[in-house]
Amino acid sequence: MPATSTVDLSTSPEGAPLQERFSKAYEYSDCWIEDSRLVVLNARDAQARGADIMVRTKVSGAERHADHWVVTLNNQQSGETRTVSAKMIVNAAGPWVGDVLNGKLGLNSREGVRLVRGSHIVVPKLYDHDKCYFFQGEDGRIIFAIPYEGDFTLIGTTDADHSDPSEKPECTPEEQDYLCDFASRYFTKPVTRDEIVWTYSGVRPLYDDGAEDASAATRDYILTLDENAAPLLNIFGGKITTYRKLAEGALAKIGSQFDDLSGDWTAGVPMPGGDFPVNGVAEMIAGLQRDYSFLTQKWAQRLVRAYGTEARGVLGGAKTASDLGEDFGATLSEAELNWLRSHEFARSAEDVVWRRSKLGLRMSKDQIARVEAFLTA
């Protein structure tokens, strides 16, 4: 990626939406990922390598024996309960890692996670270029403003303690005000709460290192291996930017228990649909529009961004838009819903319009209700 450079905000497009008092910025290059799609694509990749993916299934308990575990699973949709045996458990439950360790597995441990809520707001796009901003606040924190889903700007994030993993994280009015006021100190046009079209919050499961302030809690991950009887690996913390290094670290820990596991192999291995050159996106979009003439530029771009080389699998042999079946709005077709259900474990409208995509930003309540009815029919 390009090296860091200096930007003259008085003459550049990046300076146009900012207050005149800002004259210079530093620019660096970074990568982006849609986090929810990263999750489902990792699950698909694991399934292709032999894993059994059980959605809507909860671990309700586990019993440790001398050389194996017996894990009790509960299907949250059907109510069915069953047990499975395992040589080892990897507790990668994120915010629930402590609950699994001390509750479901019945072990007493002082190690745990500190749950830190990060909230975000989405507003109509504040500028026309494709760059992101990082702003420094008077409280020492930073926030970002990022072009989002073509027509919007994403502003975040906050750092607030979140005590209960079972409590759904939500962007509070106070957090909304904080983000609006923070961004308004930089943009010429103030950002106000009445402009917010959507909010969301996530919980970071940080290793509890005893830091007084949520912002100061370590972002490093910790792996602990309990080798008493059947082994147990607990993963505390972790983040998107280092998740594959974490996975390799976990594999190294597991490898000490089992001889049939290979070493570092994930570097350079693409997720499903990602088998194309880094600079090949424009060519893929053009190819889709050439072979599926009914696709608009934005529609083709969305499909490539979401599915990569598998976009053609979503479209199949369609010659016209009507060949894709029912139109649910925002270019979401019956064919795509069938793909998401059969390939990406989608079970509800929320899975589709918020977790597998962000089409909910462009769809009405009635359209989303039709998606729900289709998936649950």
Quick one: pLDDT at residue 275? 94
* pLDDT digit string, tens, across residues 326-359: 999 999 999 999 999 999 999 999 999 999 999 9
Handedness of CA 53, 37, 244, 275 (dihedral sign): positive
Quick one: pLDDT at residue 278? 86
What's the CA gap between 92 and 343, in Å, rounded? 23
What's the CA gap between 21 and 7, in Å, rounded? 14
* pLDDT digit string, tens, across residues 66-115: 999 999 999 998 999 999 999 999 999 998 998 899 889 988 877 778 89
Chosen CATH of 281-376 out of 3.90.550.10, 2.60.40.10, 3.40.50.200, 1.10.8.870: 1.10.8.870
Q: Looking at the domain covering 5-30+114-207, what would its CATH class be? A: alpha beta
Point out the least confidently predicted range of 248-252, 264-268, 297-301, 316-320. 264-268
Classify burial at 310, counting beta carbons within 10 Å of its beta carbon; exposed 0-12, middle 13-18, buried 19 or more: buried
Residues whose CB falls within 8 Å of the CB of residue 70, separated by 6 or more in sequence, listed in order: 62, 63, 83, 84, 85
- Side chain identity at residue 220, one-letter code: D
Read off the pLDDT of each residue in 2-31 and give the average, rounded to a whole number: 95
Domain limits, the chain: 5-30+114-207, 36-112+217-255, 281-376
Quick one: pLDDT at residue 219? 73
What's the CA gap between 293 and 320, in Å, rounded? 8
**350: its two tokens:** 């929320």
- Provide the CATH number for the domain formed by 36-112+217-255 in this structure: 3.50.50.60
Cα 315 to the center of its chain, rounded Å: 24
Residue 251 pLDDT more than 90?
no
Residue 157 pLDDT more than 80?
yes
What's the CA gap between 144 and 146, in Å, rounded? 6
Residues whose CB falls within 8 Å of the CB of residue 268, separated by 6 or more in sequence, listed in order: none
Quick one: pLDDT at residue 234? 93
Mean pLDDT score across all residues of the chain: 92
Quick one: pLDDT at residue 24? 96
> By C-alpha distance, which of 65, 67, 66, 71 is closest to 84?
71
DSSP string, 188-213: SSPP-GGG--EEEEEEEEEE----SS
Residue 212 pLDDT more than 70?
no
Quick one: pLDDT at residue 259? 65
- pLDDT bin (cut points 50, 70, 90) of residue 261 is low
8-state DSSP, 185: T
Residue 220 pLDDT more than 90?
no
How many residues belong to the chain?
377
